Amino acid sequence: MARSPRQESARARLDVPRERRRKIVPRRPSYDSDTFGSFAESFARFMGTAKFLIYMTLFVAVWLAWNWLAPKDMQWDIYPFIFLTLMLSMQASYAAPLILLAQNRQELRDRVIGEQDRQANTRAHTDMEFLAREVASLRMAMGEVATRDYLRSELRSLLNELERTRAEDDDEPGNPGDEAGRPASR
């Protein structure tokens, strides 16, 4: 039975997977995380200073004074300071994530520093154990070495023994001496 071209093309479409159309998705904005992180840290550092508190206090004081004392047609916050509250909330909503980002980066740095300290402590501990073993082996080796005081005491005892034997030899009768009355050398 012969197939029509229409049936053949339908069969071909079923045998071959369809090409999926890619959706056109806008690219995500790219940014340098280190640059953004250092900006967040500098911003968080600035927000933690007295200068920032003074600037914010001056800003709020000028805002309040202007909206209290200026004529009604020149005031920009026509409702009782709702726009000021909105501005401060917006500032806080941006400040909180930036501060958290700065804290996270500091935590990562602290973790790396802690790991480096742990490795340095491990190396120092290993070195101290090695040096303790070396000192112990030196002490054991020094126990087998004759010291200067030991040699002096041995030499003194030998000298005393020699003097005693000479004295005993001199005291023995029939020991011929030389003309000066000294005992003869052997």
Q: Is the pLDDT of residue 98 over 90?
A: no
CA terminus-to-terminus distance, the chain: 142
164-186 residue pLDDT tens? 999 888 887 665 555 555 555 54
Alpha carbon separation from 3 to 6, 13, 16 (Å, rounded): 8, 15, 18
**Mean of the per-residue pLDDT values of the chain:** 83
pTM of the model: 0.48
Burial class of residue 2 in the structure, from the number of CB atoms within 10 Å of its CB (0-12 exposed, 13-18 middle, 19+ buried):
exposed
* Cα radius of gyration rounded to whole Å, the chain: 50
Predicted confidence at residue 19, as pLDDT, reads: 72
Q: Is the pLDDT of residue 135 over 60?
A: yes
């996270």: which residue's tokens? 104
CA torsion sign for 176, 177, 178, 179 is: negative
